[in-house]
Amino acid sequence: MSKPLKIFITYAHKDTEAKDELIIHLAVLKREGLINLWHDNEILPGDKWHDAIFSNLADSDILLYLTSAYSLASENCNKELAAALSADTKIRVIPIILDCCDWMNHQLSNFQVLPDKGKPITDSSVWKRESEGWQNVAAGIRKAIHKMQSQSDLSSGTSEEELRAELAFARGNIQFLLGQIDMAIEAYSEAIELKHCHPSAYHNRSAAYGEKGEQDIAIAEFNKAIHFKSVLAVAYYNRGIAYYEKGKADRAMEDYTKSIEIEPENALGYYNRGIAYYEEGEVDRAIEDYSNAIQLRPNDARFYNNRGLAYLCTDSVVRAVTDFNRTISLDPDYAEAYNNRGLTALAIGVVEQALLDLNKAIQLRPNDAMAYYRRTKAWFPLSRWEKIRSDLNAANALGLDIIAEFRQDYGSIANFEQSIGIQLPQDIAAMLTPAHK
């Protein structure tokens, strides 16, 4: 019988209940002698917390990373992940997606996740009961364990150069995770020198160049990753982002489409393609893509906010407001959704509701210059001149060109006064009038 594999569980303490549920679902594997479990509750009184964690991590075979917004934000969880990636003996990292969070833009996106296809355990549209999601996780872990134990010598048939390449690649992942982008690029380059056909190293080096804003180099690197592994969905997805940031929406949409073809349940692929369609004026197609993204990840607030904006373009005000409401219910701190709902209320003449939402947006993001400018649109019909002066001054102080924004919205002071039916005080008109040269 093979020696039991040691499993280290990384989790944020706010996810303690999820950790306990995982342990329950791994009980059969433990009883069969296939695994031993370790987590920070195993630390004994008098043990040094840091030493206990990292000594147990060092001799583990598998790290289970319970993935949530809390763990992604946790410095300790990410330190444990970095330590696992730098271990001399390779530790297999298996992210377990607890709920909707930004894991696709985290280093964890490089690993095969559980449950299948990254469906969050808490997603009631996928799992009738959370226990179904946990059983899917347990089955996936069992499969990984059998695969690992079937290999009598993990390094058999592997050259020294290939091993060094993997160590360099792992080092690059750690440095990327820690924000040491230039050092990560050097490490990925070393891995590629040692093992020329290394699509993951090309992909991650591309992502690192993207972090530096060097999109042309990033695109060239993504091309190499795709050359070596043409079914790497994440490479098409990230190359699409790079093309979009360069203003090449058509190329971006092609790549998002390819990533969706390879991975049909890629919610972010639909979402980003929806953004590109929206920017190109193809609103109906944008709505369709946002709706597909919502079907795949119904608890992602961003998807509803963007679909709400698209609905506004089709004069579907009720649908738009419904989506903004859903955005806010999912993420009560989503400032942009309050802005969007407030401006929608203003457009249909519900000024009091508009002010409530625009005030909330500023409360959440007090350094957002546009938020102050937007609020003036609610003050104008009420002739609240002191409020208007205050908000225009705040927007201007935060760096917004209030004259340019006003001209874009209304064309001129005369047009504004005619459309609103009021006359601006001279000092406010002066604030919104270009200086004569």
Q: Mark whether 209 and 256 lie in a shared domain.
A: yes
Write down which residue in 247, 264, 281 finishes a domain: 264
Looking at the structure, do residues 165 and 145 belong to the same domain, yes or no?
no
Do residues 123 and 214 both lie within one domain? no
Q: Which of 108, 124, 153 is the last residue of a domain?
A: 153
- Which of 225, 223, 228, 218 is closest to 202 using CA atoms? 225
Q: CB under 8 Å to 204, separation ≥6 — which residues?
A: 110, 169, 172, 173, 176, 184, 188
d(Cα 22, Cα 9) in Å, to the nearest integer?
A: 9
The C-alpha atoms of residue 435 and residue 423 are separated, in whole angstroms, by 20
Instruction: Give the SS3 label for residue 97.
Output: strand
- We report the CATH number of the domain holding residue 244 as 1.25.40.10
Whether residue 56 lies inside any domain: the answer is yes
Confidence category of residue 290, pLDDT binned at 50, 70, 90: very high
219, part of any domain: yes
Q: Counting beta carbons within 10 angstroms of the beta carbon of residue 357, is it exposed (0 to 12), middle (13 to 18) or buried (19 or more)?
A: buried
Q: Do 74 and 206 share a domain, yes or no?
A: no
Average pLDDT estimate for 29-47? 75
Same domain for 66 and 180, yes or no, is no
How many angstroms separate the CA atoms of 47 and 43, rounded?
6
pLDDT of residue 84: 82
**Contact call for residues 374 and 354 (beta carbons, < 8 A):** no
- The two three-digit tokens of residue 232, written as one number: 């790497």
Could you tell me which residue, 363 or 173, shows the higher pLDDT? 363
HEC-encoded secondary structure of 128-146: CCHHHHHHHHHHHHHHHHH
**Residue 48's pLDDT band (cuts 50, 70, 90):** low
- Which amino acid, 133? G
- For residue range 349-377, list pLDDT tens digits in order: 999 999 999 999 999 999 999 999 999 99
Range of the domain at 185: 158-264
Q: Are residues 115 and 236 in the same domain?
A: no
Q: Is residue 308 situated within a structural domain? A: no
Q: How many CA atoms lie within 13 A of 186 on its CB side?
A: 5
48 inside domain: yes
74 and 175 inside one domain: no
- Kindly report, residue by residue over 291-338, the tens digit of the pLDDT: 999 998 888 999 999 999 999 999 999 999 999 999 999 999 999 999
The neighbour count for residue 197, using CB atoms within 10 Å, is 11
Residue 109 Cα to chain centre, angstroms: 10
Helices (H), ranges, 331-425: 335-347, 351-364, 369-379, 385-397, 402-410, 413-420
15 lies in the same domain as 148: yes
Q: Which long-range contacts (CB under 8 A, 24 or more apart) does 255-263 make?
A: 258/233, 259/233, 259/234, 262/231, 262/232, 262/233, 262/236, 263/117, 263/233
Residue labelled with tokens 């696709």: 104
Return the closest-CA partner of residue 102 out of 331, 285, 336: 331
Distance of CA 2 to the CA centre of its chain: 39
Q: DSSP state, 240?
A: H
Q: Are residues 147 and 162 in the same domain?
A: no
* CA distances, 211 to each of 219, 428, 430 (Å): 12, 42, 42
CATH of the domain at 99: 3.40.50.10140
Q: Among residues 239, 264, 289, which one ends one of the domains?
A: 264
Q: Please check whether residues 223 and 107 belong to one and the same domain.
A: no
Overall average pLDDT of the 421-436 stretch:
90
Phi, psi of 116 (to 5 degrees): -50, 135
| Whether residue 97 sits in one domain with residue 63 | yes
Residue 358 covered by a domain = no
Is 95 a member of any domain? yes
* Domains: count for the chain: 2
With both helix axes pointing from N to C terminus, report the angle between 233-245 and 249-262 in degrees, rounded to the nearest 10: 170
Specify whether 136 is located in the same domain as 208.
no
Q: With respect to residue 86, please indicate whether it lies within any of the assigned structural domains.
A: yes
Question: And the tokens for 118?
Answer: 């990254």
> Is 355:378 a contact under the CB 8 Å cutoff?
yes
**Per-residue pLDDT at 152:** 43
Per-residue pLDDT at 381 exceeds 80: yes
**What's the token pair of residue 36?**
């031993």
Cα angle at 20 between 114 and 10, to 5 degrees?
55
Q: Looking at residues 154-183, what average pLDDT do you find?
A: 80
Q: What is the pLDDT of residues 193-250, one digit of tens each?
A: 988 888 888 888 988 998 899 989 988 888 888 888 777 788 899 899 999 999 999 9
Sign, Cα dihedral of 416, 422, 427, 428: negative
Helices (H), 178-300: 181-194, 199-211, 215-228, 233-245, 249-262, 267-279, 283-296
Beta pairing partners, 172: none
Say if 240 falls within a structural domain: yes
